């Protein structure tokens, strides 16, 4: 099946064909780093990470650009409140972004351009727009004239010029723009703000022009995919269309526009004023990063998602089931290494009367169904369901008495490859092998293995103390174990222990 993606501009799913066969140019609007990354960011960049992974798994060479808006009103405000340089604010939040996205399994883009690194290109674009009479200068900067290309208005939203009202006519009186639809390309310098020199005096770029300049720098006059949150359709992405197409004369700017849905928390739109604003690190305090990734993928990227305790607890259960299944396959594969050389597996055939060919056929069919789901506008929810069905079938096969130990070992190698390709390389929801094996068998937990000798020595001393009725010594040892993060359970067969989660 050919990959189909929903194009916001054409308002339908379209067959995806990049301009250069085999190569994809993809630009996704990045964060404005005035504060730590939040759940909305996680939703966006996990969605486009899945696209990135699936394009590469489908054989494309992906050139992925994601910007940082490192100069902005909110960054300046935060810097002034803290009495520090604006780049300190931007840099610390960019560092936070990298850390939390790495934890969420978001692969790095190829380029992360910053606004402050592209002032020359931004100024050059503005000069061309003025020359072509799509922009004009005023006392407070440079403005884009929407009336110079009215046919482009509403390209992504379907809005009309008449339907979008001034909303605050006072702002028009206070500014130098000629029409309330116009938007800033260059903002004249204000007190206590960083500025750069330009042909129109000192100032800084408007918000929208930056992405036009950076995409032009990396991709030229047009490219294949542009992504971002649903809220960026207007005004940001429509402004990009105005700026880029009017500057270059080339249209359309983008082959496929993609937008992910909003994040809600317990049914409410996430906002600081409602007290339900979660940073990604807030979520990490209660849930493993892979659980959060699983939860956010278990809904179609274009749909709004309600992040609730129930959603996250369900994701925790499902992600653990996946980890345990992977762990069982890994353990079985390692146990089978002693039996090598192993026999080849039979040809998969879901209609076969023979047990192993039938199981292989069923599992391979699930992989094909997951691939079809992803080709259908990245339907990750269905893909995850197919993976879970595959895990159940693998689990059943590995425990079956209908195949001997040699076929079991061969199947285990197949199962590990199957799980790692779909759940790992493509969906990105697999833990490290050591963690997966520990999920299946806690005795294999690397943390447990690291302290096993010390813990068992302490438990032996505690057993001696208890036998001698030296309760004070026994309690002292138990408290030491507790400080190590060890839970001790006394049973009729002796003491057992586990590491606290």
Model pLDDT for residues 45-88, shown as the tens digit of each residue: 999 999 999 999 999 999 999 999 999 999 999 999 999 999 99
| Bond before 252 cis per omega within 30 degrees | yes
At residue 170 the predicted structure's pLDDT band, cuts being 50, 70 and 90, is: very low
User: pLDDT tens across 408-417, in order?
Assistant: 999 999 999 9
Closest to 183 measured CA to CA, from 110, 238, 118: 238
- For residue 258, pLDDT over 60 is answered with yes
Helix (H) or strand (E) holding 240: helix 238-248
The pLDDT value recorded for residue 439 is 85
Average pLDDT over every residue of 2-12 = 98
At 167, the pLDDT band (50, 70, 90 cuts) reads very low
Phi/psi for 12 (5° steps) reads -165, 160
- Residue 449: how many other CB atoms lie within 10 Å: 12
Peptide bond into 235 cis (omega under 30): yes
Residue extents of the structural domains in the chain: 308-441, 445-499
Given a contact cutoff of 8 angstroms between Cβ atoms, the answer to whether 112 and 28 are in contact is: no
Q: Which residues, 6 or more positions from 229, have their beta carbon under 8 angstroms from its beta carbon?
A: 29, 40, 44, 259, 260, 262
Average pLDDT value for residue range 289-307: 97
**Residue-wise DSSP of 149-215:** SGGGTTTTT---TTTS--S-HHHHHHSS-SSTT-EEEEEE--TTS--B--TT-SEEE-HHHHHHHHH
What is the band of 444 on the pLDDT scale with cuts at 50, 70, 90? low
- What number is the average pLDDT over the span 172-178? 75
Residue 73, CA distances (Å) to 85, 92, 151, 305 in order: 13, 17, 30, 29
Question: Which has the minimum average pLDDT: 101-110, 247-256, 430-439?
Answer: 430-439
pLDDT above 70 covers a percentage of the chain that reads 95
For residue 310, what pLDDT is reported?
93
What totals of helices (H) and strands (E) does the chain contain, helices first?
Answer: 16, 15
State phi, psi for 464 to the nearest 5 degrees. -65, -45
Q: Report the distance separating Cα 240 and Cα 244, nearest Å.
A: 6
Question: Average of pLDDT values for 87-91?
Answer: 98
Q: What is the pLDDT of residue 169?
A: 38
pLDDT of residue 489: 84
- Report the DSSP pairing between strands 254-260 and 223-229: parallel
Angle among Cα 19, 20, 22 to the nearest 5 degrees reads 120
Q: Cβ atoms within 10 A of the Cβ of 133, count?
A: 10
């Amino acid at each position: 099946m050919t990959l189909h993606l929903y194009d916001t501009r054409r308002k339908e799913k379209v067959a995806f064909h990049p301009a250069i066969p085999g190569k994809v140019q993809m630009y996704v609007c990045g964060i404005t780093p005035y504060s730590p990354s939040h759940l909305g960011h996680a939703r966006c960049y996990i969605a486009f990470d899945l696209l990135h992974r699936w394009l590469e798994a489908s054989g494309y060479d992906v050139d992925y650009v994601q910007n940082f808006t490192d100069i902005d009103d909110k960054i300046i405000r935060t810097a002034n409140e803290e009495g520090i340089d604006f780049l300190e604010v931007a840099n610390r939040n960019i560092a936070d972004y990298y850390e939390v996205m790495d934890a969420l399994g978001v692969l790095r883009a190829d380029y992360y351009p910053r606004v402050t690194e592209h002032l020359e290109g931004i100024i050059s674009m503005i000069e061309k727009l003025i020359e072509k009479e799509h922009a004009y200068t005023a006392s407070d900067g440079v403005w884009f004239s929407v009336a110079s290309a009215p046919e482009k208005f509403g390209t992504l939203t379907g809005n009309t010029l008449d339907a979008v009202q001034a909303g605050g006519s006072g702002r028009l009186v206070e500014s130098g723009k000629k029409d309330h639809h116009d938007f800033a390309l260059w903002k004249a310098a204000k007190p206590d703000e960083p500025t750069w020199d330009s042909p129109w005096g000192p100032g800084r770029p408007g918000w929208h022009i930056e992405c036009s300049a950076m995409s032009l720098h990396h991709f030229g006059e047009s490219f294949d995919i542009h992504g971002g949150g649903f809220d960026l359709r207007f005004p940001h992405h429509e402004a990009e269309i105005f700026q880029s197409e009017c500057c270059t004369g080339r249209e359309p700017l983008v082959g496929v526009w993609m937008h992910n849905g909003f994040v809600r928390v317990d049914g409410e739109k996430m906002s600081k004023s409602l007290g339900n604003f979660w940073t990604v690190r807030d979520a990490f305090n209660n849930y493993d990063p892979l659980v959060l990734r699983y939860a956010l993928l278990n809904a179609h990227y274009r749909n709004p998602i309600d992040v609730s305790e129930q959603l996250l607890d369900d994701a925790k259960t499902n992600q653990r089931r996946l980890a345990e299944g992977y762990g069982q396959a890994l353990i079985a594969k390692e146990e089978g290494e002693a039996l090598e050389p192993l026999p080849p597996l039979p040809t998969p055939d879901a209609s076969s009367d023979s047990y192993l060919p039938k199981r292989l056929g069923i599992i391979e069919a699930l992989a094909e169904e997951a691939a079809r789901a992803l080709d259908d506008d990245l339907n990750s929810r269905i893909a995850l369901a197919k993976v879970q069905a595959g895990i159940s079938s693998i689990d059943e096969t590995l425990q079956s008495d209908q195949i001997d130990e040699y076929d079991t070992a061969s199947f285990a190698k197949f199962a590990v490859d199957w799980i790692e390709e779909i759940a790992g390389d493509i969906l990105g929801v697999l833990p490290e092998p050591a963690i997966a094996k520990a999920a299946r068998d806690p005795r294999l937990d690397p943390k447990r293995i690291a302290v096993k000798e010390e813990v068992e020595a302490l438990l032996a001393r505690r057993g001696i103390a208890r036998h001698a009725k030296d309760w004070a010594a026994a309690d002292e040892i138990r408290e030491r174990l507790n400080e190590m993060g060890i839970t001790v359970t006394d049973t009729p067969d002796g003491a057992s222990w586990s590491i606290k989660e």
